[in-house]
Structure 1
Amino acid sequence: MHEITDMRELAAAARCDRGPSSPYLEKLERHGFVVMEPEGPEQMPLEDIMAPLGDPASYRFGTQLIQEQRADTDNSQFRTGAIPMHVDAHLNANAVSYMGWECLEAPYEGGETLIASSAAFFAAAPDDLVGTLRGIEIEYWSRVSGFYAERPGGNPVVAPIQVDPVTGADALCVGVDFPADPSRNFGAAVVGYGKERSLELFERLAQVLSRPEVVYAHRWRAGQVLLMDNRRVLHGRAAYPADSPRKLRRISVS
């Protein structure tokens, strides 16, 4: 079976039901993410779906998180603006391998979860951009004090190209800090680059990651579950209106 590198095809292939006999583990391994539809009379709880994938990651909020709009917060997870493409492992205190979201309430407009696979990115990215990525490291930091456990070793500095743990191919592991946003949940800078040069690189990354063959915009409906391998795909979020409820329950495992 040939590898699917166009997200328009991949998004259709990476779907299954949410029942006890669902082939979600096979699809997750093959594609790096899977959408589980609420079909049939029996639905697996999110906890049972995540159990074969590892132990729940524990943060200061516990092992489960309700992602919805909250007043007076500096955390972009609880606001309605867009969140740029990223992987979670660089941005919080725990190693994160898999993430699972269950939709409790879907917005009437916007709020799509954006997903880009490494395979799709490398199939579309210009050679000179990939060459640049192979020669740099990126420093990351969180702007949300007191929400995540502090990193005792300081800010992580990570090469943007890692190894896909399933295929052995290249995996894109970045957080795109573009455009500059003082309210953003995190920050990033290329080591040795000035601010403008860093932003130029992030802008090029964002342009590739916005192509229809690279990114899938998942429009939520209640009862769906979305699983991602954080080591193999990037994710982000589209903005949504302040009067449009969006409520997801999330469990991450390490």
Structure 2
Amino acid sequence: MLVKQIVRRAFDATLLVESQILEISSVRGMSLAQQRGMLERFDAHGFVILRCLDLSDSYRDLLDLGRYFGNPAPHPRADDQGIVGINAFRYTAGFLGSTPAEHLMHTDGAFRDAPEKIITLQCVTPAATGGMTLLASAQAAYDHVARVFPGKVEVLSRADALTVTRTSQSSTQAVFTRCGEWRGIKFRMRDGAAEVTPHTDAQEAFEELCRFFQASENRLQFRLEAGDILIADNTAVVHGRTSFPPHEPRNMRRLNFDATGPACARLVFGFLPSVSSEAGPEAWLDR
């Protein structure tokens, strides 16, 4: 029997966000075909947006994703179900999610040695102005750095490439982790809420990575609408948010998962580089 090969593709600002949106009534009411559509979109580019039309119990709907993706990941501000409110209703020192300020590109759990693999963000109330969601491809970023610094991108894979510290949490690890040919990313920028220190040898490559993620042509920008749930691979997609006026009632719910759920056995995590890390900029891997 032939097994379908799944190839995860890099993306940039030209990707049509609509291609990654799956309209459903609710998570709890998804058909088998809709479940397959969710997983196929996740595998294709590392993220999917569920456009839920039934908003009668959106809190429970978000929790129901655990049936597919496993256990909630811990967070210092989570409620007893693991859900974190992402809004500016009450400021908490060290957490940009509790402010209306710009949240620079990052992966969740960069302060932990074992970050969560799946992130979700549910829109309860969007901001009328600002508060745009930003996504970027870790594969595209890796390939870019490999071309700019031929043979040197692997400095970002050293075990002490980056130290990220927030309040009592701190982790020193690789920016690009390795599992055979596959890579994963763990990343945070200097955003004022975290102390981010690259190793001296990785400094130049890290700064180039930051420039790549800040360039508008390398990332998607879109507005999540009420009922939308963004689901993303935290090892392949970097995310952020534009600022919004303090008076806007923007309200999101974050619930991340450990990827131990039954759907995760057939999901792709991480990415395959398209540019060799060991040769010059024209040395493309034979894919």
> Normalized against structure 2, the TM-score is what?
0.71
Structure 2: which amino acid aligns with 1:160?
V
Which residue does the alignment assign to 1:128?
Answer: 148
In structure 2, do the counterparts of structure 1 residues 84 and 169 end up closer, same or farther at CA, with 3 Å as the change threshold? same
The CA deviation at 1:2 is 7.0
Structure 2 counterpart of 1:102? 122
Match of 2:63 in 1: 47
Tell me, which stretches of 5 or more residues in structure 2 are unaligned?
A: 1-5, 259-287
Q: Does 1:140 align with 2:164?
A: yes
Aligned residue type for 1:140: V
What's the CA shift for 1:53? 0.9
Counterpart contact for 1:98–1:227, Cα < 8 Å: yes
1:13 aligns to what SS in structure 2? helix
Aligned to 2:209: 205
Matched residue of 2:43: which SS? helix
The equivalent of 2:45 in structure 1 is 31
**Which residue in the other structure is 2:283 paired with?**
none
**What residue is the counterpart of 2:24 in the other structure?**
18
1:123, distance to aligned residue in structure 2 (A):
4.5
Q: Is the 8 A contact 2:108 2:119 kept in 1?
A: no
Aligned to 2:87: 68
SS in 1 for 2:130: coil
Matching residue of 1:159:
174
1:170 aligns with 2:183: yes
- Deviating more after overlay: 32-41 vs 69-78: 32-41
1:96 is paired with a residue whose SS is: coil
Distance 1:92 1:172 in 2: 13
- C-alpha distance after superposition, 1:9-47 (max 9, x if no partner): 263432212341222122112221111113479988111
Q: Deviations over 1:73-115 (max 9, x none)?
A: 3121100111111111322476301111111100011111211
Which residue of structure 2 aligns with residue 188 of structure 1? 196
Which amino acid in 2 is paired with 1:45? D
The structure whose RCO (Cα within 8 Å, separation 6+) is larger is 1
**Matched AA of 2:195:** G
- Matched with 1:5 is 10
How far has the Cα of 1:212 moved from its partner?
Answer: 4.1
Cα separation, 2, equivalents of 1:15 and 1:228:
12
Residues 34, 73 of structure 1: alpha-carbon distance in 2 compared, 3 angstrom cutoff: same
Unpaired runs of 5+ residues, structure 1, are: none
1:44-81 superposed Cα distances (whole Å, 9 cap, x missing partner): 81112243111111334331111110344312110011
8 Å contact from structure 2 (residues 49, 230) kept in 1: yes
Separation (CA, whole Å) in 2 of partners of 1:95 and 1:162? 12
Q: How does 1:75-86 map to 2 (within 5 A)?
A: 75-86=95-106
**Distance (Å, rounded) in 2 between the aligned partners of 1:84 and 1:32:** 19
Query: How high is the sequence identity, in percent, across the aligned residues?
Result: 21
Following superposition, the deviation at residue 173 of structure 1 comes to 2.7
- Please report the RMSD computed on the Cα atoms of aligned residues, expressed in angstroms: 2.9
Residue 237 (1) aligns with residue 241 (2): yes
Q: For 2:224, which of 220, 223, 228 is the aligned residue?
A: 220
| Partner SS state of residue 226, structure 1 | strand
Figure out how many residues of one structure are paired with residues of the other and give that number. 234
Q: 1:248 offset after TM fit, Å?
A: 0.4
SS at match of 1:102: strand
TM-score by length of 1: 0.79
* Maintained 8 Å contact 2:122/2:227: yes
